[in-house]
Structure 1
Amino acid sequence: MEKTVMIILVGKRKDTAVSVQKVLTGWGHLIKTRLGIHDGTPDAQSDVGLIVLELIGAEDKKDELFRKISLLPDVNAKVVKVGLDDHPAK
Structure 2
Amino acid sequence: MSKIDHLSVMSISVDQRTNSAPKVQEILTKNGELILGRFGIHDPREENTGLITVNLRGERSRINNMMDQLNGLEGVKVNHMEA
Same fold (TM over 0.5): yes
2:65 is paired with a residue of what secondary structure? helix
Q: Which residue of 1 aligns with 2:39?
A: 35
TM-score (norm 2): 0.86
The letter of the residue matching 2:78 is: A
Q: Which residue of 2 aligns with 1:13?
A: 17
Contact map agreement 2:40 2:50 (CA 8 A) in 1: yes
- Which of the pair has more CA radius of gyration? 1
Q: Which residue of 2 aligns with 1:73?
A: 74
1:9 is paired with a residue of what secondary structure? strand
Query: Any unmatched runs of 5+ in structure 1?
Result: 83-90
TM-score (norm 1): 0.80
Aligned length: 78
Distance 1:16 1:3 in 2: 26
Q: Which has the higher strand share?
A: 2
Q: What is the Cα deviation at residue 39 of structure 1?
A: 2.0
Distance 1:20 1:31 in 2: 14
Please list the CA deviations of residues 63-84 of structure 1 after superposition, one character each: whole Å capped at 9, or x if unmatched.
Answer: 11111111010000011113xx
Contact map agreement 2:7 2:58 (CA 8 A) in 1: no
Over aligned residues, Cα RMSD in angstroms?
A: 1.6
Percent identity, aligned pairs only, is: 32
The letter of the residue matching 1:26 is: K
Query: Any unmatched runs of 5+ in structure 2?
Result: 1-5
Runs of 4+ that moved beyond 3 A: none
